[in-house]
Chains A and B, each alone.
Chain A
Amino acid sequence: GAGVSQSPRYKVAKRGQDVALRCDPISGHVSLFWYQQALGQGPEFLTYFQNEAQLDKSGLPSDRFFAERPEGSVSTLKIQRTQQEDSAVYLCASSLDGYNSPLHFGNGTRLTVT
Chain B
Amino acid sequence: AQSVTQPDIHITVSEGASLELRCNYSYGATPYLFWYVQSPGQGLQLLLKYFSGDTLVQGIKGFEAEFKRSQSSFNLRKPSVHWSDAAEYFCAVDVGGYGNKLVFGAGTILRVKS
User: Which residues of the partner chain A approach B106 to less than 8 Å between Cβ atoms?
Assistant: 40-42
Question: How many interface residues does A have (CB within 8 Å)?
Answer: 26
CB of A72 closer than 8 Å to a CB of B? no
Contact B43 A107 (CB under 8 A): yes
User: Which one, A43, A44, A98, contacts B44 given CB within 8 A?
Assistant: A43
B53 lies within 8 A of chain A by Cβ: no
> Which residues of A have CB within 8 Å of B103?
44-45
Contact residues, B59-103 vs A (CB, 8 A): 90, 92, 96, 98-103
Q: Are B101 and A103 in contact (CB under 8 A)?
A: no
B46 within 8 A of A: yes
By the criterion of a CB under 8 Å from any partner CB, how many residues of chain B are at the interface? 23
Query: Chain A 74-95, CB within 8 Å of chain B: the 1/0 string?
Result: 0000000000000000010101
Q: How far is the CA of A63 from the CA of B41 in the complex (A)?
A: 29
Q: CB < 8 Å: which of B41, B45, B99, B104 contacts A99?
A: B99
Cα distance A5–B104 in the bound complex, in angstroms: 22
Shortest CB–CB separation between residue A14 and chain B, in angstroms?
24
With beta carbons under 8 angstroms apart, the residue of A4, A41, A45 that contacts B101 is A45
Tell me the complex Cα distance, A33–B42, Å. 17
Given A43-B104, A100-B51, decide whether A105 and B44 contact each other with a Cβ distance below 8 A: yes
Task: Tell yes or no: A31 within 8 A of B by CB.
Answer: yes
Binding site for A on B (CB under 8 A): 4, 32, 41-46, 49, 51, 90, 92, 96, 98-107
17 extra interchain contacts, Cβ-Cβ under 8 A, other than A45-B102, A100-B99, A102-B46? A33-B101, A35-B102, A40-B106, A42-B4, A43-B44, A45-B103, A48-B96, A48-B101, A91-B43, A93-B43, A95-B100, A98-B98, A100-B32, A103-B102, A104-B43, A105-B43, A107-B42
